[in-house]
């Protein structure tokens, strides 16, 4: 009995080896048919384009947030990051606490990273909730004052404010910063 005619220890008639490859070939062809569109999509989408704030626009947002807090009587720090959470602009009012530097930057980073407000993240990550462990991640600050900046349905930056009395006041100042640039970034 030749090796070519042996399959699973049994003698096969001539041509049985060729027939045993048919299921493998069928599966391979099915995989190619299924993967064909995927490979075409990958070839078309090998790169992607993102939008980011210019430094001038980020500065305007930070200045508007700072002005809003000043008008309310608060001395704050304001951080604006790019869509990845990398710091673009930081402003600190003269009497804002030293902690506002790090806290505002962490709020902005958190809002950019999770693509939601830090107030909403604070609610979703409370003790006993399924996502509570996120608070243990380095850099995450799940308290009010961090807002993602969106344009055309995508997060393009984030803003964080620290130093006002409470997260709601920080949120209001951050929103004023976004409102100051919203028309420019939507176009």
The span from the CA of 116 to the CA of 148, in Å, is: 6
134 pLDDT higher than 50: yes
pLDDT at res. 14 = 55
Distance from chain centroid for Cα 36: 30
Q: What is the mean pLDDT of residues 19-47?
A: 59
The token pair that represents 102 in the structure block = 């790090």
Mean of per-residue pLDDT scores for the chain: 86
Q: What is the mean pLDDT of residues 65-80?
A: 98
pLDDT at res. 25 = 47
Residue 79 CB coordination number (10 Å): 33
Per-residue model confidence as pLDDT tens digits over 151-173: 999 999 999 999 999 999 999 99
Per-residue model confidence as pLDDT tens digits over 37-54: 656 556 678 888 889 999
Distance from chain centroid for Cα 145: 17
Backbone angles phi, psi at 86, to 5 degrees: -80, 130
Q: Is 155 helix (H, G, I), strand (E, B) or coil?
A: strand
127 pLDDT higher than 80: yes
Q: What is the pTM of this model?
A: 0.76
pLDDT at res. 158 = 98
Q: What is the mean pLDDT of residues 175-179?
A: 98
pLDDT at res. 10 = 53
pLDDT at res. 132 = 92
Left (φ > 0), alpha (ψ -120 to 50) or beta: where does 182 sit?
A: alpha
32 pLDDT higher than 60: no
């Amino acid at each position: 009995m030749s090796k070519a005619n042996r399959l699973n220890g049994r003698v096969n008639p001539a041509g049985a080896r060729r027939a045993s490859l048919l299921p493998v070939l069928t599966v391979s062809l099915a995989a190619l048919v299924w993967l064909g569109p995927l490979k075409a999509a990958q070839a078309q989408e090998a790169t992607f384009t993102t939008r980011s704030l210019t430094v001038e626009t980020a500065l305007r947002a930070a200045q508007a947030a700072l002005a809003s807090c000043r008008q309310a009587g608060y001395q704050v720090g304001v951080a604006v990051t790019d869509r990845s959470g990398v710091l673009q602009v930081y402003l600190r009012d003269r009497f804002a606490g030293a902690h506002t530097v790090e806290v505002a930057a962490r709020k902005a980073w958190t809002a950019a990273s999770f693509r939601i407000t830090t107030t909403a993240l604070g609610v979703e990550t409370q003790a006993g909730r399924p996502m509570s462990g996120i608070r243990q991640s380095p850099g995450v600050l799940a308290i009010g004052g961090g807002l993602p900046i969106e344009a055309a349905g995508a997060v393009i930056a984030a803003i964080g404010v620290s130093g006002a009395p409470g997260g709601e006041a920080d949120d209001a100042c951050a929103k004023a910063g976004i409102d100051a640039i919203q028309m420019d970034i939507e176009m």
